Amino acid sequence: MSFFSASTSNSLVNNAAADKDIEVADPPTDSISSLSFSPTADYLAVGSWDNNVRIYEVGANGQTQGKAMYGHQGPVLNVCWNKDGSKILSGGADNAGRMFDVTTGQSSQVAQHDAPIRVVRWIESPQGGVLATGSWDKTIKYWDLRTPNPVSTVQLPERCYTMDVVYPLMVVGTAERHILVFNLANPTTPFKTLVSPLKWQTRVVSCFPSANGFAAGSIEGRVAIQYVEEKDASNNFSFKCHRRDQMPANKDQSLVYAVNDISFHPVHGTFSTCGSDGTINFWDKDARTRLKASPAFEQAPGPIPCTTFNRSGTIFAYAVSYDWSKGHSGMTPGHPNKLMLHACKDEEVKRKPAKR
């Protein structure tokens, strides 16, 4: 089921490289910060440090075409779609949240914070759609997109670093290891606050599709699986990933990279992790295993800042961009900046049936 055509390779040895991932042409001109597929079509919204959001259409064979682009006044930090795929929402370092109307091709400002907006999420509640924006100004604000004022504001203990929503669950990760869990039936008060199940800076949280828990990734090359309800607490666990032995001979000293993103497969409930080490892995949290048939992702030539699945889970998009993991000095001129598409095979993302 070769989804994409195999790219050609005339290397002497490496002739087994079939099904290479496709590199999207005309990628952003600066690092990619965020990826999001439309929930209704294979449109991929891409936020970048070059201040723009680009929308690509991904064809059946993996060919891509740029469809639209709009800008912020500063780097774009996060993008998402609304439920019907008609709007793209984005937040940026310009402290603004913007909405792009796919049908009209117009963008407008819909949210405002006192500090950069780190993350935007669309909440589709029974009462209607609401945009949630999390910012380094230590608030989350809810917007109905019609008025310039937020519907509501939630004070956070610290700067918002990450947030994810699978209605009715919303999880927010902030600086200093705070994690807030909201039941969106009551969106203004945390259902629960906890100290991170990880030891170091929280990098990403991602809700289970089943909305009963979340995965958290940190800079310490570790992912925690955390259930919301106490009764499930026994299922909580964490595991290491995205680490590398510094020297093959010395297992004690490892390079511990940040987990940059966690994406759940929309169908199978497995998930991917990606890191500053330039690797991607697929995992099954229930079997607590790495999916062995993980795609033969080669080590990317740079950090992987973000990943996402399309709505059906057949396409896995990831970026290879500098993620500032080594500070300014890592920002070298020739640093790769790529947007890649990977055709998911079932064995890569499907749970293994339980033995027995």
Q: How far is CA 243 from CA 238, 246, 254, 328, in A?
A: 14, 9, 6, 22
- Length in residues, the chain: 356
| AA identity, residue 224 | A
- Shortest distance in whole angstroms from residue 280 CB to another protein: 18
Q: Which of 177, 268, 338, 350 binds another protein (CB under 8 A)?
A: 177
Residue 75 binds to another protein (criterion: CB under 8 A): yes
Using CB under 8 A, which residues numbered 27 to 46 contact another protein?
Answer: 33
Pairing outcome for strands 152-155 and 139-143? antiparallel
Identify which range of 53-61, 170-178, 207-215, 265-273 contacts another protein by CB under 8 A: 170-178
Q: Minimum Å distance from CB 116 to another protein?
A: 6
Tell me which amino acid residue 91 is. Answer: G
Under a CB-based contact definition with an 8 Å cutoff, are residues 108 and 97 in contact?
A: no
Bond into 197 cis (ω within 30): no
Distances (CA, A) of 78 to 99, 103, 200, 344, 352: 12, 21, 22, 24, 33
Nearer to another protein, 6 or 233 (CB): 233
| Smallest separation, CB 49 to another protein (Å) | 7
Is 193 a binding residue for another protein by CB under 8 A? The answer is yes
Q: Nearest CA to 294 among 272, 313, 277?
A: 272
**What CA dihedral angle connects 99, 84, 165 and 163, to 10 degrees?**
-20
Identity of residue 334: G
Burial class (CB in 10 A: 0-12, 13-18, 19+), 247: exposed
Burial class (CB in 10 A: 0-12, 13-18, 19+), 74: middle
Tell me, residue by residue from 127 to 156, as one string, x for binding to another protein by CB under 8 A and - for no binding.
---------x------------------xx
Among the listed ranges 3-11, 103-111, 144-152, 199-207, the one in contact with another protein (CB under 8 A) is 199-207
Please identify which residue in 26, 84, 114, 176 interacts with another protein, judged by CB under 8 A: 176
Site for another protein in 305-344 (CB under 8 A): 323-328, 331
Cα–Cα distance, 309 to 261 (Å, whole number): 12
For the window 226-265, what string marks contact with another protein as x by the rule CB under 8 A? Answer: ------------x----x--------xxxxxxx-------
183 lines the binding site for another protein (CB under 8 A): no
In this structure, what token pair is assigned to residue 107?
Answer: 């963008």
Q: Is 27 or 217 the residue whose CB approaches another protein more closely?
A: 217
Could you give the CA distance from residue 62 to residue 59 in angstroms, rounded to a whole number?
5
CA atoms within 13 A on the CB side of 165: 25
205 binds another protein (CB under 8 A): no
Among 72, 98, 113, 203, binds another protein (CB under 8 A): 203
Smallest separation, CB 105 to another protein (Å): 27
CB of 205 to another protein, least distance (A): 13
Residues that bind another protein (CB under 8 A): 12, 33, 49, 74-75, 77, 93, 116, 118, 136, 155-159, 161, 175-178, 180, 189-190, 193-201, 203, 218-221, 224, 238, 243, 252-258, 276, 323-328, 331
